[in-house]
Chains A and B, each alone.
Chain A
Amino acid sequence: MDATLTLVVDGRPTTLTVDTRTTVLDALREHLDATSPKKGCDHGQCGSCTVLCNGRRVLACLSLAVAHDGDEITTAEGLAPEGERHAVQVAFLEADAYQCGYCTPGQICSAVGMLDEAAAGHPSAVSGDVAAPPTLDRTEIAERMSGNLCRCAAYVNIVTAIERVHAGETAR
């Protein structure tokens, strides 16, 4: 069975007809040639497919396209409109926070979403006082990023990159 729906991908509304079993991830990658989100497991276990859906981080492989009619999807590519890189992307480059690059777009979208969650006061499993505004130290960042696996294990540098972005944002 097919369904017709509209996704706003990186700011561009696109109407497409897909099998109702099609995930957001496959809609992006196979129907819209938006291959920035990656498929690492297709089961919500690795984070490679992380995109921002209406500003919040979601796993595109666990989301059915038909359930997202009209939603705004931002991929890592969309975080850099006309080559103007997002602060998180710049920090990843500077910290060498990637190796093969396959988990990277997902890590970056996840980091952007995570920084917003922290700024909004969401606690994590390692937050001491869940009512207090979280302090994003390395332990907090690592905990909040643990849904994004990196088999090359760029973890140390990823946390450093996010730490720097957060410090920059806090300084501003």
Chain B
Amino acid sequence: MTLTPDAMGRALPRIEGGQKVAGTARYAFEHPVVGPLYLHPVQSTIARGRVTAIDTSTAEALDGVVAVLTHENAPRLADTSDAEFAVLQDDTVAFRGQYVAAVLAERSETAREAAELVEVTYDQQDHHVELDEDSPDLYAPDVVNPSFETDETVGDPEAALESAPVTVRQTYTTAMTHNNPMEPHTTVATWDAEDGRLTLFESTQGVSAVRTAVAGVLGLETGSVDVISPHVGGGFGSKGTPHANTVLAALAARAVPGRPVKYALTRQQMFDLVGYRTPTIQHVTLGAEADGRLTAIVHDVVEQTARFKEFAEQTAVYSRSMYATQNRRTSHRLVPLDVGVPSWMRAPGEAPGSFAAEVAMDELAVATGIDPVELRIRNEPAVSPASGLPFSSRHLVDCLRRGADRFAWRLRDPRPRARLVDGWWIGTGVAASSYPTNSMPGSSAVIRFHVDPSLDPALGAAGRYEVEIAAADIGTGARTVLTQIAADALGVRPETVHVAIGDTALPPATTAGGSSGTASWGATIADAADRFRDKWGDDPSDGAQADGSMPDNPYSGRYAMSAYGAHFAEVAVHADTGEVRVPRMLGVFAAGRILNPDTARSQLLGGMTMGLSMALHEESVLDPRSGHVINHDLANYHVTAHADVGVMEAEWIDEEDPYVNPMGCKGIGEIGIVGAAAAIANAAHHATGVRMRSVPMTLDDFVV
């Protein structure tokens, strides 16, 4: 089934826009509740060991403190197989910042004060928190996120490198970074003991996943947990899966039946408990003919995980499908450390992996004397290098050409350190980008029709279509885009469609992750609309209803499906101070049908800006002595601010792809960040002649 676009492709303004500019859209902490208690946790001050004693008496004596939960008195959890969720269940400390107690009080000020009065005694053990690729604990995980093979060898890369006329062999590193959505992770939990129901106002990328996880951990029926999340203040992956904070709030709510427990993480706690991007050490070797054609790609990655729970970022996977070569090896090794568990952060795998791969390509361009745009075009594969399947569509070359044109690339003097303007070294760089086109099985939707005589006859419908699906809009524009999809699937005007999302009272939906939301929920809605029209035709009666579910894609396994893009960046580096500025960035993408140009452009620009942030600003500094991130706030952990952004443009080529899904769309939430940091690093090299193999790059890197 393929939808005929009418509403799709238009710049429909965001449906909840009016509420967002007034601030009346309610986020998790803001739903009115009666008689709330405020939760403030106590966190471990050691990275590894045991709690030997907790004295809560001073805290409990404080006026307004209702309870202090510790591993000694907290309710028992039904399922602690996921160690991240085993909150306050025993005396072990697995990382610095772990929850060791929690105060519930009538006032937030009291809760915080009391938390400081809880006295915890530890038996401290030696810890290891530094990523060291020579660690004796280094191991190969069974798979890497989500289920890619850990290692892969094609042909004979060592032999090919041996005989390659040109080789580039370098090590690249990326920093530990934290997602830091502006809205902190938040739960407001209420336990109704009589009915055995738990209600969570939650800030999440997927209410259905939270419901399943929390029900399992607490030993409740899935249907006894309600999760409500109409508006979410960003996530970028950290809200893609529940973390310990949600379990803590739910656990606390069970200890005080009838009282809503409000818990929003402080910004500092956001650096301890809700995931981060692992630092990476990446060894890349490229072998090529003198004409730039790749004969071998080797991409070996070392990164960290927590000792208590594994997360394996798929960093080298990018190199499996990007460029044509007969010989290839990719591998992942993990060092388990006494740290919080890493997790998803915007384009896990692709973002750090593309940095190494695309800077290495730039180094190969310099080594062979071939223009870096042309070098990528020469290595364009005919079929997917990873699977051997034909591409459903791949327009990387068009993106590169269009971008080169827009960036006046042909006028570029290829020599590095050749342009000094008013004391600034100026250069330009390019990098390619790709992100897989994912769809997740498991969503369902309901469409219901209500006659509405007050409706404007010009809209051509006798009533309104209610579309229900427990999807999430974390700022992506999902609510709006799903309305457009539903309108086209039903053959009606978007004004007559109302899409309800973000509530487990609605049919379950998959999580907003892997840039799969629109594709998965959209195909589900299209299926429901199909059934609706089969059943009721185009003139439904009041109360007409149909359900749908995520259909299988008959083309999956027959085509390789990804979005592609090309980043171009201009960098200025101050000759005396080394200050780095990025006056200009351009991204050109090929991502199937763009369903809403306004929200799409915003998302792509957002991803590119996060790439700028990765290139210049973001680095979580872990103190090896204490095991905690010392720059754990927004004054010391820098993210790109207004003044860091120069001229930044995102555009796309029109791409028709009949194979990916009924909408012909590819996910765009993550591709903007992929390759962006590499383009900036490559431009910095062109500007200064100093090769940047580590991000973030800072001014001291340029002052030699």
Contacts and interface: CB of A to CB of B under 8 A. Distances in A.
A100 B474 contact: yes
Nearest to A159: B642
Contacts of A158: 642
Interface in A155-172: 155-159
Given A43-B635, A151-B181, A142 B22 contact: no
A153 interface: yes
A96 B601 contact: yes
A89 B642 contact: no
Given A36-B24, A77-B23, A101-B25, A48 B602 contact: no
Interface string B107-127: 111100000000000000000
Given A75-B23, A100-B182, A41 B633 contact: yes
Given A45-B634, A99-B603, A152-B234, A35 B30 contact: yes
Given A101-B231, A143-B642, A149-B634, A38 B602 contact: no
A46 B449 CA distance: 44
Contact of A102 (B233, B598, B639): B233
B296 interface: no
B642 A108 contact: no
Interface string B175-219: 000001111100000000000000000000000000000000000
A126 to B, nearest CB: 8
Interface in A1-47: 19, 21-22, 26, 29-30, 33, 35-43, 45-46
A157 B602 contact: yes
Interface in A96-120: 96, 98-105, 108
B23 A105 contact: yes
A43 B264 CA distance: 14
Nearest to A33: B32
B634 A99 contact: no
B27 A102 contact: yes
Interface of B is mostly: loop
A139 B14 CA distance: 27
A96 B633 contact: no
Interface string A68-106: 000000011101100001000100110010111111110
Contacts of A29: 29-30
Interface residues of B, number: 60
B475 A99 contact: yes
Given A19-B109, A100-B475, A149-B634, A93 B639 contact: no
A98 B605 CA distance: 12
A164 B464 CA distance: 36
A10 B147 CA distance: 52
A149 B476 CA distance: 18
Contacts of B613: 153
A104 B20 CA distance: 7
Q: Pick from B22, B608, B642 the residue with the most CB of A within 10 Å.
A: B642
B416 to A, nearest CB: 27
A48 B227 CA distance: 25
A46 B637 CA distance: 11
A89 B613 CA distance: 27
B645 A155 contact: yes
Given A38-B183, A46-B182, A100-B475, A93 B18 contact: yes
Contact of B183 (A45, A100, A141): A100
Contacts of B231: 100-101
Contact of A40 (B22, B184, B475, B602): B184
A152 B475 contact: yes
A103 B20 CA distance: 9
Contact of B182 (A42, A76, A139, A151): A151
Nearest to B16: A101
B184 A148 contact: no
B20 A98 contact: yes
Nearest to A143: B643
B13 interface: yes
Contacts of A35: 23-24, 26-27, 29-30
B634 A93 contact: no
A76 B32 CA distance: 19
Contacts of B233: 38, 100-103
Contacts of B25: 101
Contacts of B634: 40-41, 43, 45-46, 149
B521 interface: no
A59 interface: no
B359 interface: no
B569 interface: no
A89 B23 CA distance: 10
A45 B21 contact: no
A90 to B, nearest CB: 8
A52 interface: no
A77 B26 CA distance: 12
Interface string B536-577: 000000000000000000000000000000000000000000
Interface string A112-155: 00000000000000100000000000010111011011111111
Given A38-B182, A96-B601, A153 B609 contact: yes
Nearest to B650: A156
B596 to A, nearest CB: 9
Interface in B615-667: 633-635, 639-643, 645, 648
A77 B30 CA distance: 14
B316 interface: no
Given A21-B109, A100-B181, A154 B602 contact: yes
B266 interface: yes
Interface of B: 13-14, 16-27, 29-30, 32, 107-110, 180-184, 231-234, 236, 264, 266-267, 474-477, 598-599, 601-603, 605-610, 613, 633-635, 639-643, 645, 648
Given A41-B267, A76-B22, 5 more contacts: A48-B182, A76-B21, A100-B231, A153-B605, A153-B610
**Nearest 8 CB-CB pairs, A to B?**
A36-B23, A102-B233, A100-B475, A101-B20, A105-B23, A153-B609, A99-B475, A35-B30
